[in-house]
Structures are given as C-alpha cells and as structure tokens.
Amino acid sequence: MREIAVVGASLAGLRATETLRREGFDGRLVLVGGEPHLPYDRPPLSKELLAGEWEHDEIVLRKLPYDELELELRLGVPAVALDLAAREVELRGGERIGFDGLVIATGATPRTLPGTAPLDGLFTLRTIDDCLAIRARLDAGPKVVVIGAGFIGAEVAATCRKRGLEVTVLEALPQPMVRGLGPVLGAVLGEMHRDHGVDLRCGVTVEAIEGGDPDMGGSVERVRLGSGSVVEADLVLVAVGVTPETHWLEGSGLTLADGVVCDETCLAAPGVVAAGDLARWPNRAFDGEVMRLEHWTNAVEQGTAAAHRLLAGGSAEPFAPVPFVWSDQYDVKIQSAGRFTGDDELAVVHGTLRERRFVALFGRAGRLTGALAFSRPRQLMQYRRMIAERAAFDAALEHAAAS
C-alpha cells in the first residue's frame, strides 16, 4: 500500500493519519477536509468557545507541526464522489485523488426543520464558523430559543444561561433524553436546567419559525408551537440531531444505511475503512449490536483502529469498545459508559438524585450494560471497566454496596 487518502479533516481523520505514520506507513498520505480549517476540537463549540472563554487557537487538535506527518492537505475542498473501481476520490473542482487505502471520516451534518425559511438568526451548530457566528450575536443579549434538549441543545442552553441570557428550550419528548436515560434521569436533567432559569418546555411540537421576509434579509422573531402559542426569539438554534455525511458516497457501491456499514474491524470494502460519526459496525463487546456513535472518545479510538485495519491486511482485531460520553452543564460533569436505554433496569448506587451527584447503573438480561454519573468521574470509570469485563448486574450492585 503506497497511497492512502483520508477524507474528513476531523478528530477521527486526524487520529487515523497520525496512527498511519506512527505505525510506519511512509507512502503518499492525503488529508481532505470540507472546511478551510485544520482539524479542531468540537466539544468546546457549545461550551468554552461559545462562552468566549477560549479562542480558535485553543481548540486546535494538533499542537505539533503538521510537517512531521508529511501530509498533502486539501482543506476547504470537500469530496463529492468515490469511484471504487478506479480507486479514486473526486473533490469539488474536479481533482481526483488515487488511493490504495481509504479512510472515510466525514462525520455528520445537523438536521434541519423541513420547510423552514433561511431567516437571519436561525442556526445549527456543527462547525467553528457556526459557533463564532452565534457567539457574535450573544453579546447583544438576545432571547434564545433552543429546539431540542439533547447534549448539544442542553450545553448551549447552559452556556447561554451562564451569560445571563433568557433561554427557552423546546423538546418534543416528555423529558430531555428520555429515550436514552429513561423518565427518572431525564427528569433530573430537566429540573437541573429549570433550576438554572431555563424555560424548558417538554412534549411540545414546533409548527413554524417565523420572522421577516427572508428574501429581504428578514430575521427570526418567534417560534410558533403546535398548540398555537408563540415564543418570542431573536436567535434560534435547531439541535434535533445529525445525519451521517454520506451523500457524496451515494452510487459508490458502499453499503449505506444510517452511515457507512462496516464489518467488526471497521472495513467497509477492500482497502476502505470508516471511522467516527458515520461508521456503523457490529460491536462484539455488546453481542454484535450494530451501532453508530457520535462521540469524541469513539472518534479517537475508531480513527486509530481504522488505520490499524488498513495496515493489517488480511487479519485485524475487532473494534469492540465500551462507549464513553461526557457533557459539562453548569457545574455538573455528566458522564456515561456502556450501551443502555431507558427500558433497562436502573439502580442508583452512589449519592442521590436530589443532590445531583450520583452514579446510576443499568442492567439488561442479568448483565451490567451501562453507568451514568453526575460529578462522580472516578467511580464511573470503575464501572466502565466492569462493563468491558461483561460483569453481571448483581455483581456490580455488590461492588457498589462494598465500596
């Protein structure tokens, strides 16, 4: 293998290039990115960078010189097509990059609300340019409406409240993140935001985002709900999830189904691997459950694993991590490990829900499937190890009782 292309100047893409060089690949290595920026860290976009506490140079992912990687950089030029037969990636503008090996790491794109006019003051949040555009508006003290109470929506709401802004969060589900956390823990998260002054409205639908004439540069003015009521707004963030960035792969011959479908080693086709938000693969650590993870830790681990898979040739270890996610909201660090749903058995084993400093364990079919912690990082990592060891749920409860 003498030519490798990495499409996606993302966390997963960068870690793949670093791993390839570290493991001895000395051929041509091209890194393609749709944004004009060198790879940067995305979690601060909804927190420190949005708050004005950090600047662009503080979120770059690589502090060492890029010259050491001997990369050919193609930034600000997205890939538009993949020709598997010719072993070429086509970029916007017509350049075609040949490859023996390919890493696909183009991430995901925020969902939008169908039929919504492109009003001034209406945003999604995925890139540093999105973040800086929103941040510039916050100085004027706008009324902020966030549609969606997932991690991004909740973090932006917390950041805006810390800046003293009026914030309304609109969520279609009965509680924030109820599908993943269940109603009990979802309610804890919701009350935390209400206690910090967020107007959190659950079980509501958005009928329309209204404002001036978009053809005349009109701005957001209000959000109309399905009930007929309106919420006044100067800035609206739509945070209703993401879709894998795979449109450029349509017709390529790869299997696309809510992402790029891979085997358990991240291989999508001979000489082609995928990593990060768009990779969908069976995770042996959870009995082959097919999953796609949109989190920082997975991007690091899967970018590294995908690079190893390219270099391994015919044999490679399965990529079988225990998912790990975190979110900082107000003064609380929320961390989760494993794979669980609101339907799993739940036990709070350290602390209390009332004080919002606790560890909750999840079990299914007698196995420990996950753990969620509010400001209990050390204990959370202990349970992550137990999940990896396929510990029984009762054994985890006994461990908790003894500690």
Could you tell me if residue 373 is inside a domain? yes
pLDDT band at residue 177 under the 50/70/90 scheme: confident
Contact 346, 361 (CB under 8 A): yes
8 and 105 inside one domain: yes
Which CATH number characterizes residue 194's domain? 3.50.50.60
343 and 277 inside one domain: no
Does residue 213 carry a pLDDT above 90? no
**Structure tokens belonging to residue 329:** 């909201």
pLDDT at res. 403: 83
Q: Give the integer Cα–Cα distance in Å for 37 and 35.
A: 5
In the chain, the amino acid numbered 108 is A
SS3 200: strand
SS3 304: helix
pLDDT band at residue 374 under the 50/70/90 scheme: very high
Least confident of 104-118, 121-135, 171-185, 271-285: 171-185
Sorted by sequence, the CB contacts under 8 Å of residue 355 that are 6+ apart come out as none
Does residue 154 carry a pLDDT above 90? yes
Q: Give the integer Cα–Cα distance in Å for 386 and 373.
A: 15
**Structure tokens belonging to residue 353:** 């829900």
Q: How many domains does the chain have?
A: 3
Number of Cβ within 10 Å of residue 210's Cβ equals 16
Which CATH number characterizes residue 393's domain? 3.30.390.30
Could you tell me if residue 280 is inside a domain? yes
**DSSP code string of 317-331:** -------EEEEEETT
Q: What is the mean pLDDT of residues 189-201?
A: 97
Whole-prediction pTM? 0.95
What's the distance, CA 360 to chain centroid?
22
pLDDT band at residue 181 under the 50/70/90 scheme: confident
141 and 121 inside one domain: yes
In the chain, the amino acid numbered 307 is A
SS3 353: coil
Of 190, 211, 238, the last residue of a domain is: 238
Q: Give the integer Cα–Cα distance in Å for 2 and 26.
A: 8
184 and 119 inside one domain: yes
335 and 351 inside one domain: yes
Contact 380, 337 (CB under 8 A): yes
CA atoms within 13 A of residue 172's CA, in its CB half-sphere: 12
Could you tell me if residue 323 is inside a domain? no
**Structure tokens belonging to residue 108:** 């995901």
pLDDT at res. 367: 96
Could you tell me if residue 319 is inside a domain? no
Contact 15, 304 (CB under 8 A): yes
What's the distance, CA 49 to chain centroid?
17
pLDDT at res. 43: 96
pLDDT per position as a tens digit, 157-168: 999 999 999 999
Pick from 29, 32, 27: nearest CA to 8: 32
pLDDT per position as a tens digit, 391-403: 999 999 999 999 8
Pick from 72, 76, 66: nearest CA to 18: 66
User: How buried is 50 (Cβ within 10 angstroms: 0-12 exposed, 13-18 middle, 19+ buried)?
Assistant: buried
pLDDT at res. 311: 95
Q: Give the integer Cα–Cα distance in Å for 278 and 293.
A: 8
Q: What is the mean pLDDT of residues 18-22?
A: 98
pLDDT at res. 124: 97
288 and 335 inside one domain: no
104 and 251 inside one domain: yes
300 and 365 inside one domain: no
**Structure tokens belonging to residue 231:** 């919420």
105 and 63 inside one domain: yes
143 and 255 inside one domain: no
In the chain, the amino acid numbered 155 is E
Q: Give the integer Cα–Cα distance in Å for 374 and 376.
A: 6
Boundaries of domain holding 57: 3-109+243-312
Does residue 314 carry a pLDDT above 90? no
227 and 195 inside one domain: yes
Of 238, 258, 287, the last residue of a domain is: 238
pLDDT per position as a tens digit, 270-294: 999 999 999 999 999 999 999 999 9
